[in-house]
Amino acid sequence: MTGVRKKGGWATEDWLQAIAAELEAASTTAAVEAVRVAWLGRRGRITEALRGLGALPVEARREAGQRLNRLREAAEAQIKARLQVLKAQEEAETLAAERLDMSWPGRRPPVGRLHPVTRVRRLVEDIFLRMGFAMVDGPEVESLWYNFEALNMPEHHPARDMQDSFFVNLPGMVLRTQTSPMQIRAMEAAGGRLPVRIIATGRVYRRDDDATHVPMFTQMEALVIDRGIGMADLKGTLLAMSRALFGPETAIRLRPSYFPFTEPSAEVDVTCAVCGGRGCRTCKDTGWLEILGAGMVHPVVLQNGGYDPEAVSGFAFGLGLERVAMIRYGFDDLRLLYQNDWRFLAQFGRGEDGM
Ligand code: DAH
């Protein structure tokens, strides 16, 4: 039994053995701490024994005091040794449990991609910003005046039938069928100043739905007005744009056409980017792909924008960005752009236009 008083002293050997056994059994640092408290804490057995020394006769007190202090030192040493072993063990366990192989490849977070129309839009806008055009923006719900009348398409003008409009529940308003109303808005904003040199990109709406037409699509309108602007300026601008978009070998051709807001008017083709002009399925063996409508701004339109057709002239064109995307990336169903099929969209790169 520990703590028994042997003749003339304390059973320090027994105590030391008891402590050793308890420490051996303690398998965590917390258990070791419990052992320490039981023996050396404020109410610990050794502490109590030391406190009890005062009751002994002087002779015995000295001898017992020395023994108890040696015992205390021995106990402290044992505790410290045991703690060291356990701490090392616990550390090893933690390291094993939290093992991290730094040679593993990192996780690649899924990165979003720009929609092909967004990429084409940025590309074209960049081309024109570098040519000194300003970028303007306008409403998708547009008045009949801006969308038709001001553009030389009065109410019973047959040209209105060219575009089946979406009307909205507001008298005199439509979802704009073209970005051309931005020509009038830009002229009004310029207030007669020269030159006017703008592009306006945005959504337009028509009652159309097949492989080459969707009810909502994206146009970019361009308008230049100054003194002495001619067809050559239009042609040069379009050639520069086409080469920047489809490659330096690209050629363009202008076919006479009709738009109410331009005179003369042209439809513009570029050499087919798929076959390089030799003829293929995409260009229906013609070697050419139509990309836009263009022309010299009609005098009536200039007037409606507040400019004098006797003093200034201008050109305008309207480019369909979905078509540009089709030609540039080489796919043949426009609807793919708006079906949100990840397998289609994931084929386009990440921003910098590599393709
Ligand atoms: N607004 C026409 C359309 O949507 C395209 C167009 C043709 C725009 C000739 C123009 C232009 O600015 O001059 O079909």
The number of the ligand 1 atom at minimal distance from the alpha carbon of 219 is 4
**Ligand 1: which residue has its CA nearest to atom 4?**
178
CA of 111 to the centre of ligand 1 (A): 37
Residue 292 — pLDDT band, cuts 50, 70, 90? very high
Q: Are residues 152 and 268 in the same domain?
A: yes
Within a domain: residue 207?
yes
Query: Which mutation among 146, 152, 163, 180 tests ligand 1's pocket best, with the greatest number of atoms within 8 A of CB?
Result: 180
The number of the ligand 1 atom at minimal distance from the alpha carbon of 315 is 13
How far is Cα 156 from Cα 151, in angstroms, rounded to an integer? 13
Give the model confidence (pLDDT) of 196-240 as tens digits.
999 999 999 998 888 778 899 999 999 999 999 999 999 999 999
Q: What lines the ligand 1 site, CB under 6 Å?
A: 178, 180, 221, 259, 262, 293-295, 316-318
Percent of the chain's residues with pLDDT above 90: 72
Q: Which residues pair with 268 in a beta bridge?
A: 254, 292
Respond yes or no on whether the N-terminal peptide bond of residue 195 is cis (omega within 30° of 0): yes
Which residue segment(s) compose the domain that 311 sits in? 116-345
CA of 266 to the centre of ligand 1 (A): 10
The pLDDT of residue 194 is 97
CA of 317 to the centre of ligand 1 (A): 5
267: helix, coil or strand?
strand
Q: Are residues 128 and 265 in the same domain?
A: yes
Within a domain: residue 110?
no
What are the CA-CA distances from residue 12 to residues 20, 56, 74, 315 (Å)?
A: 12, 17, 10, 110
Q: Are residues 75 and 166 in the same domain?
A: no
Q: Are residues 210 and 152 in the same domain?
A: yes
Q: Which residues pair with 293 in a beta bridge?
A: 267, 318
Q: Are residues 310 and 199 in the same domain?
A: yes
Within a domain: residue 132?
yes
CA of 54 to the centre of ligand 1 (A): 112
Q: Are residues 39 and 169 in the same domain?
A: no
The answer to whether 65 and 7 have CB atoms below 8 angstroms apart is no
**Is residue 5 scored above 70 in pLDDT?**
no
Neighbours of 209 (CB within 10 A): 10
**Ligand 1: which residue has its CA nearest to atom 8?**
318
Of residues 8 and 200, more confidently modeled: 200
The pLDDT of residue 355 is 42
Respond yes or no on whether the N-terminal peptide bond of residue 264 is cis (omega within 30° of 0): yes
The answer to whether 336 and 329 have CB atoms below 8 angstroms apart is no
Q: Are residues 138 and 69 in the same domain?
A: no
Within a domain: residue 62?
yes
For the segment 151-169, the average pLDDT, to the nearest whole number, is: 82
The pLDDT of residue 218 is 97
How far is Cα 348 from Cα 340, in angstroms, rounded to an integer? 13
Give the model confidence (pLDDT) of 302-318 as tens digits.
999 999 999 999 999 99
The residue among 206, 234, 250 whose CA lies nearest residue 315 is 234
The number of the ligand 1 atom at minimal distance from the alpha carbon of 162 is 14
Please name the amino acid found at residue 81. Answer: A
Within a domain: residue 273?
yes
Q: Are residues 155 and 73 in the same domain?
A: no
CA of 224 to the centre of ligand 1 (A): 14
Q: Are residues 148 and 215 in the same domain?
A: yes
The residue among 218, 209, 202 whose CA lies nearest residue 322 is 218
How far is Cα 219 from Cα 37, in angstroms, rounded to an integer? 83
CA of 294 to the centre of ligand 1 (A): 6
Strand blocks (E) in 169-303:
173-175, 196-205, 216-226, 252-259, 262-271, 288-297
Within a domain: residue 308?
yes
Q: Are residues 139 and 229 in the same domain?
A: yes
The backbone region for 175, taken as left when phi is positive above 0, alpha when psi lies in -120 to 50, beta otherwise, is beta
In the block, which residue shows the tokens 């602007």?
229
Q: Are residues 121 and 37 in the same domain?
A: no
Q: Domain ends where: 97, 125, 153?
A: 97
CA of 321 to the centre of ligand 1 (A): 13
Backbone angles phi, psi at 99, to 5 degrees: -55, 135
Residue 2 — pLDDT band, cuts 50, 70, 90? very low
For the segment 16-32, the average pLDDT, to the nearest whole number, is: 94
Q: Are residues 14 and 73 in the same domain?
A: yes
**Ligand 1: which residue has its CA nearest to atom 5?**
318
CA of 117 to the centre of ligand 1 (A): 19
Query: Which mutation among 179, 297, 317 tests ligand 1's pocket best, with the greatest number of atoms within 8 A of CB?
Result: 317
**Ligand 1: which residue has its CA nearest to atom 7?**
293
Within a domain: residue 224?
yes
Q: In this structure, what CATH number is given to the domain that contains residue 273?
A: 3.30.930.10
Helix ranges, the chain (H): 12-25, 29-40, 45-52, 58-97, 116-130, 144-147, 181-190, 231-246, 299-304, 321-329, 342-345
For the segment 105-109, the average pLDDT, to the nearest whole number, is: 87
CA of 180 to the centre of ligand 1 (A): 6
**Ligand 1: which residue has its CA nearest to atom 2?**
318
Angle at 317 between CA 313 and CA 321, to 5 degrees: 160
Residue 159 — pLDDT band, cuts 50, 70, 90? low
Number of domains in the chain: 2
Q: Are strands 134-135 and 196-205 parallel, antiparallel or unpaired?
A: parallel
Within a domain: residue 352?
no
The residue among 73, 61, 59 whose CA lies nearest residue 15 is 73
